[in-house]
A = this chain, B = another copy of it.
Amino acid sequence: MVGPSIARADAPMIIDTHGHYTTVPAGLRTFRALQISNLGRPKKSALAISDDEIRTSLEKGQIRLLDERGIDLMIFSPMASAMGHHFGSATISRHWTEVNNDLIARVCGLYPTRFAGVCALPQSPGVTPADCVDELKRCITDLGFVGCNLNPDPSGGRWSDPPLGDAWWYPIFEALVALDVPAMIHASATCNPAFHTTGSHYLNADSTAFMQIFESTVLQDFPTLRLILTHGGGNVPFQAARYRAIGIMNKWPAFESVLQRLYFDTTVYSVEAMEMLVRTVGVDNVMFASEMLGGVNAIDPKTRRLFDDNKPCLDALAWLSPDDQRKIFETNALRVYPRLRPIVAARPDAPRTATVGGE
């Protein structure tokens, strides 16, 4: 059996809701390179990656770190920066996305108690998101995935598609609701020299997506839609008063009520930011996540821990009750990702919340 032996007792299960397959075997890069070679006649070449290569790619990286940090399970999706929806045509995006999603399914098959799959979508700038619905359904129903990533800017930094509040996106929202899965808003690499992928484009995408939702009727039009803002929401907690003011000036639904309909992950890396995030968003709408490994893969000289070893930043919030902690580490994720429950329930150390169907 894979996975640490955890003395659970009353401690919550620790679910990390934001991990990407950043340590892919070289075979995946070869596939991508051949897409450039075959730009004029796109074809889906065979992927040459063995199960052993997958195991090697994970056991020294993500799995070792999950074990060291006492994290039970990670929600795992294709490498975000490499989604590269802006590269090539919709056909090229579809081939690439399918191969990446299939690879995530193999990871989950090899480590069914440690990883739950989240898919990328075959987005392409200027192409209707309706064209992504089939791949979403395949991943959820055939591959057993629990959600998807949604790129609010498939152009990679030109922002040429309509905002998320536009009916343009509604086919994918309808499919998310029908499948009862959430979407994690996450940009990919930028091809615009004005931006830095992990330093500005990701964070701009988080905040921009929030504002697009805030000024739209998406949440009213889809009362059961669940959207997750990553990286602590970009600037949302810090600029909360500005957003509150803009909402009041425009007579929109109150900022606070919009926060209650959204979910934020904890991929911020200081106690101060964690405190501001949880206080602003509230314990019912925050999910633990580390985004390891890749985005902030360095040791913080202040703490002597890797930056993405951020559970201690949450543990430092002494005002969180045990029940609050359980929400952030476990039950919010099971509520937002209901398809996680059978995966968690199959674990030998399954918490009661998973086996009895949530809170």
Contacts and interface: CB of A to CB of B under 8 A. Distances in A.
Interface of A: 152-153, 157-163, 166, 192-196, 198-200, 203-204, 207-208, 210-212, 214-215, 231-232, 234-235, 237-246, 248-249, 268-270, 272-273, 276, 279-280, 295-301, 307
Contacts of A166: 193
Given A199-B215, A203-B239, A248-B298, 4 more contacts: A238-B238, A238-B276, A241-B269, A242-B296
A297 B245 CA distance: 7
Stoichiometry, copies per complex:
2
A246 B194 contact: no
Given A234-B235, A239-B231, A242-B296, A162 B194 contact: yes
Contacts of A237: 238
Contacts of A212: 194, 196, 200
Nearest to A291: B242
Contact of A273 (B207, B210, B240, B246): B240
B235 A203 contact: yes
Contacts of A152: 194
A192 B159 contact: yes
Nearest to A194: B159
Nearest to A307: B245
Contacts of A242: 198-199, 203, 231, 268-269, 295-296, 307
Contact of A163 (B194, B243, B249, B269): B194
Contacts of A199: 211, 214-215, 242-243, 246
Nearest to A210: B200
22 contacts: A158-B159, A195-B208, A199-B243, A200-B208, A200-B211, A204-B208, A231-B242, A237-B238, A238-B238, A238-B276, A240-B270, A240-B273, A241-B273, A241-B307, A242-B295, A244-B307, A245-B296, A245-B307, A249-B297, A249-B298, A272-B276, A272-B279
